[in-house]
Chains A and B, each alone.
Chain A
Amino acid sequence: NAGVTQTPKFQVLKTGQSMTLQCAQDMNHNSMYWYRQDPGMGLRLIYYSASEGTTDKGEVPNGYNVSRLNKREFSLRLESAAPSQTSVYFCASTGSIDEKLFFGSGTQLSVL
């Protein structure tokens, strides 16, 4: 059972480049989330998808877009990367708000 698989693990971009972070879960979870983690800031919610076919903004959505491709997959896209988007990104999923979040292994993104 793989859980939450997140790719890539590391990425370096130049300012203005675009990229997509991929996330897939094999636990048949309805809800999926994208967070960013910066030193001293904890985990901040970027976007989430409560169920297949829906997406909603979190605390810090500017500069990002998401796609809930199907129940398993939830991708995060940076259309024009900025140095302020240098961060560690985590994807997570859960079956309900009474259950824990299962996290991917994270993506270390650097934007130069």
Chain B
Amino acid sequence: QKEVEQNSGPLSVPEGAIASLNCTYSDRGSQSFFWYRQYSGKSPELIMSIYSNGDKEDGRFTAQLNKASQYVSLLIRDSQPSDSATYLCAGANTGNQFYFGTGTSLTVIP
């Protein structure tokens, strides 16, 4: 079983809609969680980090963490065509390991 599981999609939403991305993790020792965005042919770039249960908002992005359910999500409000990319969920454990999910491909349709 992978450390981090993501629904690989692909996910398509119309412009202006909310995109919802989800992942689950298996290592209860994981204490930090991240969402990265990756455009085709480029390196991953950080969108959000979250460490505590609850919600964390940054502009159009909201990350949610539920450690009891071992669940992390990312909501993108007012989706824009420029949000079209692959979104990678990652967890980091106390062994200094960062594990990534398989990624969710998002397409925002104008």
Contacts and interface: CB of A to CB of B under 8 A. Distances in A.
B89 to A, nearest CB: 9
Given A42-B102, A100-B34, A48 B96 contact: yes
Interface residues of B, number: 25
Contacts of A53: none
- Give the interface SS of chain B, mostly helix, strand, loop or mixed: strand
Nearest to A38: B102
Interface in B27-63: 31-32, 34, 43-46, 49, 51
Q: Which of B32, B34, B88, B98 has the most CB of A within 10 A?
A: B98
Contact of B96 (A35, A40, A43, A97): A97
A110 B77 CA distance: 39
Interface residues of A, number: 25
A42 B98 contact: no
A25 interface: no
Nearest to B94: A97
A31 B6 contact: no
Interface of A: 31, 33, 35, 40-45, 48, 50, 56, 58-59, 90, 92, 94, 97-98, 100-101, 103-106
9 contacts: A42-B88, A43-B88, A43-B100, A56-B95, A59-B99, A97-B94, A98-B31, A100-B49, A103-B45
Interface of B: 6, 8, 31-32, 34, 43-46, 49, 51, 88, 90, 92-103
